[in-house]
Amino acid sequence: MGPALDPRFLDWILAEDLGAGDATTDAVVPADATTVADVVAKADGVLCGIDVFEPLLRRLDPAGRVEVRVRDGATVAPGQRLATIRGRARAVLSTERTALNVARHLSGVATLTAAFVAAVAGLPTTVHDTRKTLPGWRELEKYAVRCGGGRNHRMRLDDAAMVKENHLLTGLGRTGPAAIVEAVARLRRARPTGLPIYVEVEDRAELEAVLPLGVDVVMLDNFALDDLRRAVAYVRSRPGPHPRLEATGGITLATVRAIAETGVDRVSVGALTHSAPALDLSVRHRAEPDRGA
């Protein structure tokens, strides 16, 4: 899959499920039994995370193999075989749920992202995620966003400087246009080169204050549609290079098209990672294993 799967992550998620061992499987399934099983889609969506099955399986069965039939980023349909698993039956049974949980979640993120991207099709607006990810899962969830056709916002706090209201309140004791100007000045003194600068604004006065500062992205937070249109027109009417304009705050599938039509360059959507429903996938064992089909 996209980012390298951290062995520590794989060990951790498997140990969480196994505990002291798979009580049912170890009692019922002979140690030398083998099986063939298929990973199958049960709903329409975008696949992500299929490559987690083999490294998890091989932790319990070093000779186990997974033949991937459909790659991450592909659109899948109910009944479609995505991968075929071959190995010791105990190892397959004891790892399949952990692998499914990862793939179902990541495929859900990719599927929701693809829906947002489709909603703005034909417009130049791009769809971005946020840092609203599960701790420990960020690289995987942001990879899933890319599989769905979206783009990543900053990965970590050191990737870019982002001035928001809480920074102004805690650092300067006030908000508003003058506070934004001071915060950006402090940033440039502390980091004279390098980091991109994002600034969140909440009204026209803050937008007008930030434009002469030469920041990279201006985030228009919870602007109404008419205010977004006026903000875009105002920025584009000014001479010289313009910051990228990003709409943010409570954007949904129902509203994203209208927001994109205002002319903003990008939208950021926390729901891509924090609220994506899992895609329904399952593992089906074969009563009579095939011969490599």
Q: Is 221 a catalytic residue?
A: yes
Marked catalytic residue, from 54, 96, 221, 265? 221
Marked catalytic residue, from 42, 58, 69, 132? 132
Marked catalytic residue, from 164, 204, 230, 244? 164
SS3 261: coil
Amino acid at 246: E
Marked catalytic residue, from 96, 200, 206, 246? 200
**Are residues 10 and 49 in contact, defined by beta-carbon separation less than 8 angstroms?**
no
Instruction: Report d(CA 14, CA 57) in Å as an integer.
Output: 10
C-alpha closest to that of 104 among 79, 132, 141:
141
Marked catalytic residue, from 6, 17, 65, 97? 97
Q: Is 142 a catalytic residue?
A: no
Q: Which residue spans within the chain are E strands per DSSP?
A: 34-41, 45-46, 65-68, 75-76, 81-88, 126-128, 161-163, 197-201, 217-221, 244-248, 266-268, 281-285
Tell me which residues are annotated as active site.
Answer: 97, 132, 164, 200, 221
